[in-house]
Amino acid sequence: MRHIYIIGIGTGNPEHVTIQAIGKMNAADMIFLPTKGTEKEGLAAVRREICDRFITSAKTQVVEFAIPVRQTSDRSYIESVDQWHAALAQTYVGLINDLPEDGIGAFLVWGDPSLYDSVIRIVERARQLDAASFDFSVVPGITSIQALAASHRIPINMVGKPVEITTGRRLVEHGNRAESTIVMLDGEQAFSRIEDPDAEIFWGAYLGTDDEIVRAGRLGDVADDIIRTRAEARARHGWIMDIYLLRKGRDFDDL
């Protein structure tokens, strides 16, 4: 039976790739590398660099494939994502069926496959189609949360207190509720619409790479600078991956 590895590769720094991940990459017959058009060519370039650096097996092929465009008009967010995942599952079936009967394939996933990434659920969806016979396993990776904390030299949580992980859209809907809130997938800079100017923000983009940018401070003081910096970086690179921590309160302040 064919087998698929879903491999976390960290936030873009090749040194984030684990020894386990390198071993599974070299065990693969095919590594499936997604492309998202010229605007996000930099993302594919980083994956290619990781493959060039770590693949030493002569049998391993890198197979590039185009990601279907997500259709958003006249659809809710949930509907558009569900339809997009259905199209991706069909694409995955085609890729997997190109493997030998007992072949091994691999998808390389930014950060860790379990955190705000859908490759696991799409692969499972492809398996449920019964159009390709395969099993799969997951190789964990360094998350952008870990990279953010390392770059700012901070712990994520305060002593004995919870952490919320959410999206920019949810942050706007529900507000800044937890003492420590990690915000991902925020293309609208939701932090600028939060009425909590005394909260601290720890922001980072292109974490772990040569292009890394970080900013930190009181939200009311640095929000405009982050918005300006983010826009300039996105215009320069054509894409951006960023994440931030909103924090309020102090260690031991409830004792």
Where in the chain are the domains?
A: 2-139, 144-247
- Tell me which fold the domain 2-139 belongs to: Cobalt-precorrin-4 Transmethylase; domain 1 (3.40.1010)
Residue 41 has pLDDT above 80, yes or no: no
Rounded Cα gap, residues 10 and 204, in angstroms: 15
Mean pLDDT of 145-173: 93
E strand spans, the chain = 2-8, 30-35, 61-66, 104-109, 134-139, 163-167, 180-184, 200-205, 213-218, 242-247
- Tell me which fold the domain 144-247 belongs to: 3.30.950
pTM (2 d.p.): 0.89
Contact present, 190 and 242 (Cβ < 8 Å): no
For 165-223, how does the pLDDT look when each residue is reduced to its tens digit (9 = 90+)? 999 999 988 888 889 999 999 988 999 998 888 899 999 999 988 899 999 999 999 99
